[in-house]
A and B are shown apart, each in its own frame.
Chain A
Amino acid sequence: MSGQKGYQNRTEILQGTLDMLILQTLQWAPRHGYALSKAIRTNSGEILKVDTGSLYPALHRLERKGWIAAEWKKSEVGPRLRVYRLTPSGTKHLLAERSRWEKVLEAISGVLNPAKNESEA
């Protein structure tokens, strides 16, 4: 697989977006920490590297805020797993974050492509 190369090309996740990525990824299904980091990596086309040193603090912080809830589940493969799922207030927060992020993206692309804006104006 693209193994080694993938490692080097991976980018650190942008400050402040990890929470959103976690919430978004948990929207589909409850996951444990390892599966979550894998899912983010896979969904980003192996580009975004989730730094585990910040993944677990982020998970626990989100849990404290009540946006996700954790539960220990027995796995069929051996060790029990701490599985996180999105809470209703987490969903609300995710929506707010997404709309904020879209505005930021729009603003950044506006700065990067000023010509387009001017022609529209």
Chain B
Amino acid sequence: MRFALWGRKRRDRELQEEIETHLTLAEREEMELGRTRKEAAFAARREFGNVSIAEETTRDVWGSRWLGDFFQDLRYAIRTLRQRPSFATVVVLTLALGIGANSSAFSLVDSAFLHALPFHEPERLVHVWTTDAAGDLHTPSPAEYLALRETSKSFEQVSGAGWKRFFYDNAQSSGQSLLGLVITPNWLPTLGINPLVGRNFLDEEQISGREAVVMLSHTCWRTRFHSDPGIIGKKINLDRRAVTIIGVLPQSLGPYYEDIDLFAPLVLDSYKENGEARSGKVRVQIVARLRPGVTLDQARSETEVIAQQLREHRPAADRSGHLVIEDFAETFRHSGPTRQNAQRGMRLTACAATLVLLIACANVASLLLGVALRGTRRLRCARHWAVRAAAWSDSC
């Protein structure tokens, strides 16, 4: 490619020189006819016409040259490959294996490490986990959520979310189960996301009896409601009661909360009422936003105090009920206790895939070498043309 460009530049220079010479010669002749230098130059230019257009059209003649050369090379390559189908198959398969392994490993790494989060100042976002007796991470209980929300000073926002299945009924279909995320009204502000259309939940909508409102994910709005622009205010039948659609969330949320169709209010007072009976089963995913200037360590020590108060009646050696604060992005890379293994595994996979590609290239190179050593046919052909070219240039 560089050679082609270089050749092109040289050709351009030479063309300019050629036309310049033409003008000089014409000018000289006009001067011999008795014109002044200025008149001669003018006459020569007029006779020639537009220089840059002439240059441009000449360049066009050469323009597709390297494309032509490229196609010639391509034809040659295809011919050669067709002459040796088994060789071609082996090379294609080897390279396909190497490239395929690499691209899949890269897409893993890409989704895990390289994608920026579409949230406002994601470095201030944290996830809060609780621990079980074995010290593994789990989603906190509603009590832990409420304690953190009410007493902590390190966080600007502490929001909660939980998974829930909804039964969706409409006139056309016989009823479907939709995946929903029940969220506190501050969940969207914590992430720094605004609904695409409509509004977020209000505080009073997390009280049971007033929570008959729902927001749709972008995908759900597009696929189930055909991107209906007048969707806000419509009522749909969820869990056998009429629920009003109040908003649609932006597409950027998609990759992080995949497969979620609906967002509904997280009703907290039902936890309060049923308190202990349900707290063992219901869990609240906590997403919190650190106050500006508060470090992760400061938040951790404060949270540990809060957790301590909640655990007071339990023995000190008990490893459950510790609140663990984790960088939000980390969680999205891999949630759960095996995340570090997964990360290490992913790096290894990427390295292995690169190695596979290198091995594939080495194999193809040695195959080509073998073919070249045996490929005397082509050499003979090249020699034939070289001899002919030499003979021809001698004769001229």
Closest to A64 in B: B61
A45: Cβ under 8 A from any B Cβ: no
Residues of chain A from 78 to 113 with CB closer than 8 A to chain B in the complex: 78-82, 85, 87-88
- Per-residue CB contact flags for chain B residues 1-39 toward chain A (1 = under 8 Å, else 0) read 000000000000011011111101110100001000000
Cα of A56 to Cα of B54 in the assembled complex, Å: 7
Q: Are A33 and B57 in contact (CB under 8 A)?
A: no
Q: Say yes or no: is A57 at the interface (Cβ < 8 Å to chain B).
A: yes
Report the minimum CB–CB distance from B72 to chain A (whole Å).
Answer: 13
Q: Give the contacting residue for B60; candidates A35, A57, A81; CB below 8 A.
A: A57
B53 within 8 A of A: yes
Q: Is there an interface contact between A33 and B22, defined as CB atoms closer than 8 Å?
A: yes
Give Cα distance in the complex from A64 to B59, angstroms: 12
Known A57-B60, A60-B62, A79-B17; judge A52-B25 contact (CB<8 A).
no
Query: How many residues on chain A are close to B (CB under 8 Å)?
Result: 28
| A34–B25 CB distance below 8 A | yes
Interface status of A116 (Cβ within 8 A of chain B): no
Report the stretch among B44-52, B161-169, B267-275, B366-374 that lies at the interface: B44-52
Grouping DSSP codes into helix (H, G, I), strand (E, B) and loop, the B interface class, with mixed when no group exceeds half, is helix
A59 to B18, CA, bound (A): 11
Which residue on B lies nearest to A49, using beta carbons?
B47
CB pair B18 A56 closer than 8 Å: yes
Complex Cα distance, B25 from A29, in Å, reads 19
Contact A57 to B61, CB < 8 A, known contacts A32-B21, A78-B24 = yes
Are B15 and A56 closer than 8 Å at their CB atoms? yes
What residues of chain B lie closer than 8 Å to A117, measured between beta carbons?
none
Residue of A nearest to B60 (CB): A57
**B151 contacts the other chain (CB 8 A):** no
B311 within 8 A of partner (CB): no
* Contact A52/B47 with A79-B17, A79-B20 known, Cβ cut-off 8 Å: yes
In whole angstroms, how far apart are the Cα atoms of A94 and B22 in the complex?
25
Q: Is the CB of B21 within 8 A of A81?
A: yes
Q: Is B199 an interface residue (CB 8 A)?
A: no
Question: How far does the Cβ of A69 sit from chain B's closest Cβ, in whole Å?
Answer: 8
Which residues of chain B are near A54, meaning CB under 8 Å?
Answer: 57
Name A19-78 residues within 8 Å CB distance of B. 32-35, 51-57, 59-61, 64, 69, 72, 77-78
Residues of chain B within 8 A (CB-CB) of A64 are 61-62, 65
Q: Would you call B58 an interface residue if the criterion is a C-beta within 8 Å of the partner chain's C-beta atoms?
A: yes
* Shortest Cβ distance from residue B27 to the other chain A in the assembled complex, whole angstroms: 10
- Given A34-B21, A85-B396, 16 other A-B contacts at CB below 8 A? A32-B22, A33-B21, A34-B25, A34-B26, A52-B48, A52-B49, A57-B60, A60-B58, A64-B62, A64-B65, A69-B396, A72-B14, A77-B28, A79-B21, A80-B17, A88-B392
